[in-house]
Structure 1
Amino acid sequence: MATRNAPSTPRAELIADTALRLLAERGMRGLTHRAVDAAAGLPQGSTSNHARTRQALLETAVRRLAEREAAVLAMDELPPALGGETGDGGDLLDALALALHRYLTTHRALLVARYELALEASRRPELREFYDRAGSRFRTPLNALMAAAGSAEPERHALSLIAWCEGLMFSCAVGSYHSAVPSREELRTGFGELLRGMLGAGTGPRA
């Protein structure tokens, strides 16, 4: 598809960002080529020219979502290991807590857009493949981080870390805790407890 490897331009980013905003504000039904043109203040037909089909428009949104999530979470800024600590302190806990708090407080609309796209991917096999491929960029550094932290099963522990974060983000963004976002210190404590449970007294599963 022509849009898969299209170079990023200011107009392309505007279209993609507007698509994400519409997903957060109006849901999947509110995302149309005409709606993006109108919301972005672009001439009619601009979005269709950039992404001719609905699949192409959804892929544009997924690609931009991954780019913006990478900026919010700043995976490349995470320290490589725990520095010998197992949850009571260290740069890793500070970085994880900061990233998650930043997402929950200033980028909640981005989370809502992600949930809309994830649900749509569950119904569209062609989008599912594209969505999973875009998301895989986050798994590799987390696997490496868990290995550097001393995990004997870094992939399994990375999955546990991701699942904990995903559950907390869903609860605080659109779930029953949407009005009770944890503070950075509370998130830091939670990460410490999770990592201590996985890596503290041995790295294998506990009874």
Structure 2
Amino acid sequence: MTASTPDRRILIVDSAIDLIATQGLRALTHRALDTALELPAGSASYYFRTKRALIEAIVDRIATRSRTDFAGMERTGDPIDLDRIARSTAAWLDRLLAQRRNHLIVRHALIIDLLGDAELHGELVGCLFSHRHATTLFDTLGAPDPATAAADFIAVIEGLIFDRFAGARTALAAGTGKSVDQLAAVLAVQLAATGASR
């Protein structure tokens, strides 16, 4: 394999994400990455000296990709409509489930594993859904308590995502109209429950 140092680092991190998603955190070793990528022994540890360094790189990769995806979300100047917000948010979540399933799985695994690590845990918790943006949304919608409404909405989103990759609805395929409909229906109920006005 010939690759530049940044490319090889990304390749190793992406392989680590796939390894955790399919085999769990215990499977993550430098040797397993060398084997998976058919690299000479010691290659993964050359780029990431410790498992901690590798975990930090995984967290950074997931967080950076999440910020990029969030920045690319469609934003329009359309009038505020709760059904439209529910539907567009559902479509975005469905894309995450279809295109970044392994990132979502690994994020949840690491959130639990890193409970005692305030820095990395905080970065993972806040990387997928911005509390600040959600609070702004609910303030704009006229919710009586925008910060609480935002926190509740994000909690519902977290539950929906988990349900779809590890819970009762794993059989519901992402990338389908049925998937978006299921997500949108739950989000619409939550939006209506916040006391936000249309």
- Shorter-chain TM-score bucket reads 0.7 to 0.9
Deviation at 1:39, TM superposition (A): 1.5
> Structure 1 residue runs of 4+, over 4 Å off?
none
Which residue of structure 1 lines up, in the alignment, with residue 90 of structure 2?
97
Residues 134 and 200 from structure 1, CA distance in 2 versus in 1: closer, same or farther, beyond 3 angstroms? closer
Cross-structure match for 1:3: none
Contact 1:82/1:149 (CA < 8 Å) preserved in 2? no
Instruction: Please give the TM-score of this superposition, normalised by the length of structure 2.
Output: 0.81
CA distance in structure 2 between the aligned counterparts of 1:105 and 1:77, rounded to whole angstroms: 15
Residue in structure 2 matched with residue 18 of structure 1 by the alignment: 15
CA distance in 2, matches of 1:15, 1:77: 28
Residues 21-170 of structure 1: pairs in structure 2 closer than 5 A = 21-72=18-69, 74-79=70-75, 83-85=79-81, 87-88=82-83, 90=84, 92-122=85-115, 125-126=116-117, 128-137=118-127, 138-170=130-162
Task: Report the count of equivalent residues.
Answer: 188
CA contact (8 A) 2:144 2:196 kept: no
Please say if residues 149 and 194 of structure 2, whose CA atoms lie closer than 8 Å, have aligned partners that are also in contact: yes
1:143–1:158 CA contact under 8 A, matched in 2: yes
Q: Provide the C-alpha distance between the structure 1 equivalents of 2:31 and 2:181, rounded to a whole number of angstroms.
A: 44
TM-score (norm: length of structure 1): 0.78
Contact 1:37/1:47 (CA < 8 Å) preserved in 2? yes
Identity %: 29
Deviations 1:90-146 (A, max 9, x none): 3x3332011111122343222221222122112xx33x4213134434222222222
The one-letter amino acid paired with 2:102 is: A
Whole-angstrom CA distance in 1 between matches of 2:71 and 2:139? 15
| CA RMSD between the two structures | 2.6
User: Unpaired segments of 5 or more residues in structure 1?
Assistant: 1-7, 203-207
Gaps of 5+ in 2: none
1:180 corresponds, among 146, 149, 172, to 172
Residue type of the alignment partner of 1:48: S
What is the rounded CA distance, in whole Å, between the counterparts of 1:198 and 1:78 in structure 2?
23
Report the Cα distance in structure 2 between the residues aligned to 1:144 and 1:15, rounded to whole angstroms.
37
Once the two structures are TM-superposed, the CA of residue 36 in structure 1 deviates from its matched residue by 1.5
Name the CA distance, whole Å, in 1 between partners of 2:77 and 2:192. Answer: 13
1:71 CA drift (Å): 4.3
